Structure 1
Amino acid sequence: MSLLIRLGNKRFTLFTLLLLFKCCLAWFVVFEDGPSMMTMLTEIPFFWLVFCMIEWFSKKRKLLYYTIANLLFTLLYFTVLMYYKYYGIIVTYHAISQADKVTKVGESTYSLMDPYYLLIFVDIVVLIGIQVWLRNKSKRIHINLKPISRTVLSSLFIVSIVLCFFSIWPNRASMNENKQAEGMGILNYEVYTIFADSTEDKAMVDMKDITQPVIDNLKGVTAVSNPQYFGAAKGKNVIIVQMESFQDFLIGLTIDGKEITPNLNKLAKENFNFDHFFTSVGQGTTSDAEYVVNTSLYVPKHEPATKNYVKKELPSLPKLLNAEGYHTATFHTNDVEFWNRKELYDAIGFDQYYDKSFFGDEDHVAFGASDEVLYSKTIEELKKMDESDQPFYAQILSMSSHHPYNIPEEKYQMELPEQFDDTLVGRYILSQNYSDYALGKFIDELKQSGLWDNSVFLLYGDHQGLPVYSLDSTEKGLMEEILGHEYGYTEMFNIPLILHAPGVTYPAEIKQTGGQIDILPTVANLMGISIANQIHFGQDLFNQTTSNVLPMRHFLPSGSIISDSSIFIPGIGFDDGKNYPFAGQEGNENGATVEQYEHALELLNLSDSYVKQLPDKAKK
């Protein structure tokens, strides 16, 4: 006896409905308005293009090919969900090409997953089970795949192409990538981005037209004849500490009367404290922060700076200090190959790097040796460097407080109220409290060794630690309780910058807006080094009191800028964009201007053009 199974158009319909459910789930998570009728008009035609080709070209095993297509679409939607939970944007092939990083930060990645996301794989498991069962029963079951007529297939294919085209074409001019994806449909957007790099980017600016006066004019930077603090720390050592995932709201924060960061609080009170300071990183996160701080150049649009930019002869802070007789070194407990740091350090001119091969893996926290090990071994190397006639520049990267903030309980330095238990916010605060503890011990050792009084010490956060997209309703409530207002973009991208310069009197309050892009020119001023002949996109925070506009990339849509009063995020363009005011600036009508928006886009294009035209670095 045989069983006749007729699928044909029913199979076509079944897989359309399955994938429509999955795309609606993705839309529900990543788009503010969720799925709509437009979802069907933008997503279904792409399914049909693939299904038509399966019907045309496969003579056998059509159900298998449908299942494979279903699996590939499902994996893409799942990747979109996971990526959005941390980055707040739609993943593209640029980020997928860096998928090898996921295996190295697996715990961080898996922590972002809501269990219900796995529902999108249920049908695939069932379908595979059915096909295995059919295969085992093949002697008793005859399968007749009823074909769809070629006329119907051709009509569906043409209609699908037309619908895909008219989804993509009107939306390609949008500055906001999330708006583009919503207008085009996620699948159409993924295809569009593959071709957009070569067709949509602004024309490259010729090198002779990229000058510091042009950059300064766009930024509103004015020349200062006698810059304040110029050379105030000339000849001193430079120690720069990059704090993992550290946000500014932690400075001065108390919970149940306990300070979260007592050592940083003290440091901020006794030294320069820039509390309106922001991250400038992109897809490369921590490594991008190293790049921006040491070059004063913007990160690339779609990829980490350590992918292609490090192939160039980059102007940098280490090279500036090398020319002044400094020895330069960087310290990080992870493997130097992660994020291609070996190439980064070579490109920006560090004389020496210390990585996992030096620090080992003792007292493991997150992805390497703990911050305590980092600082205890680093201080011994700094003492050795200080014994030579050369001053030194050392950049030190903390890492223990890395997402998802699962530090061992024996590292806890405080207890939090019960409502913080088993929350990302609670784990974040405990890990940063430990990082502050380890840093405090390091500062004590710097003071005891005499290095503190002979060194510029600068500390900043590398990037946001609590993405608003990752927080559930309970965690958002905890943040609102801590801050006294809703947690959003303005707190998420705000990181600390604290600077100690021996013998320099600091003002009581610094309200100047700044970003990581400004660290190189600020340090150069303190060290008495002119950078008039070195292209840089930051500004000296001691000597520019005019408005500072900071372009953002990757974590916010293209065209987003941080200004003195708000964070601006464009829509299709400037006119339908939205300002998110900083606390205390609500009701302030002085949001971003169209001139600031246009200048920010021009600055990004100048930076991209400049780096792409730099000579390739010499091979060693």
Structure 2
Amino acid sequence: MKTVGKKIRGILNTRVGFFMLAIILFWLKTWWTYLNKFNLGAKGSIQHLLLMINPFPTTILLFGIALYLAGRKSYIYLLLIDFVTSFWLFANVLYYREFSDFLSINLIKGSGAVSNNLGKSILGILDPSDFLIFLDVLILILLLAFKAIHMDVRPIKKRYAMTVTAIAGILFGFNLSFAESDRSGLLTRTFDNNYIVKYLGLNAYTVYDGVKAAQSNAAKNNANASDLQSVQKYIKENHVPVNAEYSGVAKGKNVIIFHLESFQQFLIDFKWDGQEVTPNLNKIYHESDTLSFDNFFNQVGTGKTADAEMMLENSLFGLAEGPAMVQYGTTNTFQAAPAIFDQNGYTSAAFHGDVPSFWNRDNTYKSWGYDYFFSSNYYPKKSAYSIGYGLKDKIFLKDAATYLEQLPQPFYAKLITVTNHYPYLLDKQNQSIAKTDTGDSTVDGYVQTAKYLDQSVGEFMNWLNDSGLAKNTMIVFYGDHYGISGNHKKAVAKLLDKDSFNNFDNAQFQRVPLMIHMPGLKGGVNHTYAGEIDVLPTLLNLVGIPDNDRIQFGQDILSPQKNQTVAFRNGDFVSPEYTKVGSAYYNTKNGEALKHPTVTQKKTLDQMTNHVATELSLSDRVITGDLLRFYTPKDFKKVDKQNYSYKKSKASKTLKADLDKNSLLHQNDGNSTTDMYKTDAPELQK
């Protein structure tokens, strides 16, 4: 044993040995931190393996720079970089504990949100075990100070140092390719900072975040107020008068936006196994006081849900690559629906049963001006309550009602459902319809989660009626994006009882529901071609808020003069007359390809193609250049992000202080209506 100990000490007394010890200690404490201080949601052997090994590549790279230095400088640099990276890990632990997210360059540089959010509360969130993050640095310093390990001042050949750097690069390449095999589009379609840390590590996330911040800041720095002139000119030239008949019909009413995850229009009135898949939504769709739209299309790109929210709340398109909420939501200036409604006397709130950091909502919602964000942090947590991307819809909506009844009226509230999310998994006790029989595992579970979502909506609507809230509320139901992609043509053809399913069919398949329901509303099925970009101008007209001077690319769907060319994010489009898919054009009415268009048709198609390209390009310019910072509409006050905090303790305090401001709870003399909420969720049955 003495011989083994002597050999180990001999190795540690070399610079390479000390370097290896530092890496092992840093790796151990980082892995321990991942497991004990963050909630990264690693599932399965692959994700747990990646979580364990991902600290190695960047640690070897950063610590390896010390091998290029001579003598004592090498040890000093290694200890310094060890301390700096440890401090960064420590800071992220504190921030994550408070906000379930990681620090970003823009968050620190642009918004001042770190000091504003943590501030005096830092002592309150410290845990003594947090200081174990610095234990490896202390061990190394003590080993050197007490000469248990001696500094090796002999030079190391540069080729050995370069070999270590190369090893770090190779390891990172393996790590990245392995991660991409488990989560495709990890870097190009960022869902959540947690994903980057889980798969690649905190240091890699920091570099990735820095690159993204540099790219977005470069675009902003090159933009100026004159860039907005072409946007304003386009908006003015394409503005259409709103439908006067519907102007202000919902003035003073509550507005609830029901975000139906992955819900497509074909599900309305669709039957399987002898029963309606969505009987509750079918009923709402056909009611006389519901405005229903059967040619309403999702227009999302790679951001999917994030793109849908961007269009719904801002009437701005998502970006061609990557979600704008993640890339620009923290620092950009927006003139979004929550702020517009808030500045017109409404309380604004978003409800979601997932972690607040997903799609960067915790930061973006501050930029949009949401007063409240009731994320998963606000609801009871049990493993049986969640599936996939958050709380099951029945449990989520019941829990959301406890906060909804406390909101001062009128309010603007968005409820984001998640159970009907790919890959459409549902535990057996919640299944109430058989899977379809296309043979495609992705497609066949879709009706089960869709029916569950529909049942959840039915329970919520019953509570809304029983509590009396429905009589003073306009509810908007919309599907955020497709549920079944064009990669499943054979299965979709069988599902829809069609002989085939081609690219034209897939373009038409992008229809999602839009229903606007309110007691006394003049309803019916509207056949106008429209998309998610058009929702905000339509809602503003219904509640009587003028939008003549706003930067919005949508139009009031109810306007007789609305342009019915619906742009897709990739430049394709649909309209009542023509559909474009790639380089092919089709007659929308019969689906036939226009192989030899007439001169008149070609002119029309060119105009429509140019219109779509211009619209997408200008919208992108607004976001990437942060152009709204140069313009404030009349009667609109710029949002100050630092005025918002989504801490549960603060929200509870504010709601309690506002109890006498016409909330449903106040109207009922402080008596809750949640006992009226009836659900058959098996997880909640006693």
Tell me which interval the TM-score lies in, with the shorter structure as reference length: 0.5 to 0.7
User: Residues of 2 paired with 1:582 and 1:58: CA distance?
Assistant: 65
Q: Does 1:539 align with 2:561?
A: no
Q: Which runs of 5+ in 2 are unaligned?
A: 1-157, 200-213, 630-637, 643-686
User: Residues of 2 paired with 1:315 and 1:426: CA distance?
Assistant: 41
Q: Does 1:101 align with 2:195?
A: yes
**Residue of structure 2 aligned with 1:497, choices 514, 518, 523:** 514
Q: Which runs of 5+ in 1 are unaligned?
A: 1-56, 84-90, 106-193, 571-576
Kept after mapping to 2: 8 A contact 1:284/1:304 = yes
- Paired position in structure 1 for 2:296: 277
Q: Normalized against structure 2, the TM-score is what? A: 0.58
- Paired position in structure 1 for 2:334: 314
- Paired position in structure 2 for 1:265: 282
**Residue of structure 2 aligned with 1:396, choices 389, 412, 415:** 415
- Paired position in structure 2 for 1:352: 372
Deviation of the 1:605 alpha carbon: 2.3
Kept after mapping to 2: 8 A contact 1:416/1:426 = yes
User: Residues of 1 paired with 2:608 and 2:186: CA distance?
Assistant: 28
Kept after mapping to 2: 8 A contact 1:565/1:581 = yes
- Paired position in structure 1 for 2:155: none
CA shift digits 1:167-189 (9 cap, x unpaired)? xxxxxxxxxxxxxxxxxxxxxxx
Q: Normalized against structure 1, the TM-score is what? A: 0.64
CA shift digits 1:539-577 (9 cap, x unpaired)? 111114444223322xx4xx222323454234xxxxxx1
Mark the CA change 1:361 to 1:464 in structure 2 (over 3 Å): closer, same or farther.
Answer: farther
User: Residues of 2 paired with 1:403 and 1:340: CA distance?
Assistant: 20
CA shift digits 1:277-334 (9 cap, x unpaired)? 1112233322222221011111123221112332122111112211221111010000
What pairs up with 1:401-412 in 2 under 5 angstroms? 401-412=420-431
User: Residues of 1 paired with 2:186 and 2:278: CA distance?
Assistant: 37
User: Residues of 2 paired with 1:340 and 1:316: CA distance?
Assistant: 16
What pairs up with 1:333-352 in 2 under 5 angstroms? 333-352=353-372
**Residue of structure 1 aligned with 2:402, choices 358, 370, 380:** 380
- Paired position in structure 2 for 1:461: 479
For the aligned residues, what is the CA RMSD? 3.9
Mark the CA change 1:308 to 1:422 in structure 2 (over 3 Å): closer, same or farther.
Answer: closer
Deviation of the 1:80 alpha carbon: 8.9
Kept after mapping to 2: 8 A contact 1:480/1:486 = no
Q: Does 1:223 align with 2:317?
A: no
Deviation of the 1:59 alpha carbon: 11
Deviation of the 1:525 alpha carbon: 0.6
Deviation of the 1:75 alpha carbon: 6.4
User: Residues of 1 paired with 2:641 and 2:513: CA distance?
Assistant: 37
Kept after mapping to 2: 8 A contact 1:205/1:606 = no
Q: Secondary structure at the match of 2:356?
A: coil
CA shift digits 1:527-549 (9 cap, x unpaired)? 01100011111111111444422
- Paired position in structure 2 for 1:439: 457
Q: Secondary structure at the match of 1:228?
A: helix
**Residue of structure 2 aligned with 1:595, choices 604, 607, 615:** 607
Q: Does 1:578 align with 2:549?
A: no
Mark the CA change 1:58 to 1:93 in structure 2 (over 3 Å): closer, same or farther.
Answer: farther
**Residue of structure 2 aligned with 1:364, choices 371, 386, 396:** 386
User: Residues of 1 paired with 2:160 and 2:379: CA distance?
Assistant: 59
**Residue of structure 1 aligned with 2:534, choices 518, 533, 536:** 518
**Amino acid of the residue matched to residue 431 of structure 1?**
T
CA shift digits 1:412-447 (9 cap, x unpaired)? 122246x35772212111111110011111111111
User: Residues of 2 paired with 1:60 and 1:382: CA distance?
Assistant: 60
Q: Secondary structure at the match of 1:519?
A: helix
User: Residues of 2 paired with 1:104 and 1:468: CA distance?
Assistant: 30
Kept after mapping to 1: 8 A contact 2:538/2:557 = yes
- Paired position in structure 2 for 1:528: 544
Deviation of the 1:594 alpha carbon: 1.0
**Residue of structure 1 aligned with 2:317, choices 281, 286, 298:** 298
Kept after mapping to 2: 8 A contact 1:297/1:517 = yes
CA shift digits 1:239-270 (9 cap, x unpaired)? 11001111111111012331111111111101
What pairs up with 1:38-117 in 2 under 5 angstroms? 72=173, 79=180, 83=184, 94-95=188-189, 101=195
Deviation of the 1:522 alpha carbon: 0.5
User: Residues of 2 paired with 1:423 and 1:459: CA distance?
Assistant: 27
User: Residues of 1 paired with 2:535 and 2:234: CA distance?
Assistant: 20
User: Residues of 1 paired with 2:426 and 2:587: CA distance?
Assistant: 34
Deviation of the 1:215 alpha carbon: 1.9
Mark the CA change 1:422 to 1:252 in structure 2 (over 3 Å): closer, same or farther.
Answer: same
Mark the CA change 1:240 to 1:423 in structure 2 (over 3 Å): closer, same or farther.
Answer: same
User: Residues of 1 paired with 2:310 and 2:172: CA distance?
Assistant: 38
**Amino acid of the residue matched to residue 371 of structure 1?**
D
User: Residues of 1 paired with 2:543 and 2:465: CA distance?
Assistant: 21
Kept after mapping to 1: 8 A contact 2:369/2:639 = no
Kept after mapping to 1: 8 A contact 2:367/2:640 = no
Q: Secondary structure at the match of 2:189?
A: helix
Kept after mapping to 2: 8 A contact 1:548/1:564 = yes
Q: Secondary structure at the match of 1:384?
A: coil
Mark the CA change 1:357 to 1:93 in structure 2 (over 3 Å): closer, same or farther.
Answer: closer
Deviation of the 1:383 alpha carbon: 2.3
Kept after mapping to 1: 8 A contact 2:476/2:517 = yes
User: Residues of 2 paired with 1:275 and 1:600: CA distance?
Assistant: 22
Q: Secondary structure at the match of 2:507?
A: helix
- Paired position in structure 2 for 1:24: none
- Paired position in structure 1 for 2:622: 610
**Residue of structure 1 aligned with 2:349, choices 323, 329, 333:** 329
Q: Secondary structure at the match of 1:593?
A: helix
CA shift digits 1:75-95 (9 cap, x unpaired)? 669949974xxxxxxx69643
CA shift digits 1:183-223 (9 cap, x unpaired)? xxxxxxxxxxx999999xx9988345146562253x4x433
Mark the CA change 1:102 to 1:497 in structure 2 (over 3 Å): closer, same or farther.
Answer: farther
User: Residues of 2 paired with 1:335 and 1:607: CA distance?
Assistant: 29
Kept after mapping to 1: 8 A contact 2:339/2:639 = no
**Amino acid of the residue matched to residue 189 of structure 2?**
A
Q: Secondary structure at the match of 2:544?
A: coil
Kept after mapping to 2: 8 A contact 1:210/1:610 = no
User: Residues of 2 paired with 1:513 and 1:269: CA distance?
Assistant: 19
Kept after mapping to 2: 8 A contact 1:360/1:369 = no
- Paired position in structure 1 for 2:84: none
User: Residues of 1 paired with 2:639 and 2:341: CA distance?
Assistant: 19
User: Residues of 2 paired with 1:93 and 1:406: CA distance?
Assistant: 25
User: Residues of 1 paired with 2:532 and 2:313: CA distance?
Assistant: 9
- Paired position in structure 1 for 2:134: none
Deviation of the 1:451 alpha carbon: 1.4
What pairs up with 1:158-307 in 2 under 5 angstroms? 206-210=226-230, 212=232, 214-217=234-237, 219=238, 221-223=239-241, 227-270=244-287, 271-307=290-326
- Paired position in structure 2 for 1:481: 497
CA shift digits 1:501-525 (9 cap, x unpaired)? 3212113x31101111111111111
Mark the CA change 1:432 to 1:213 in structure 2 (over 3 Å): closer, same or farther.
Answer: same
User: Residues of 2 paired with 1:483 and 1:497: CA distance?
Assistant: 28
**Amino acid of the residue matched to residue 574 of structure 2?**
I
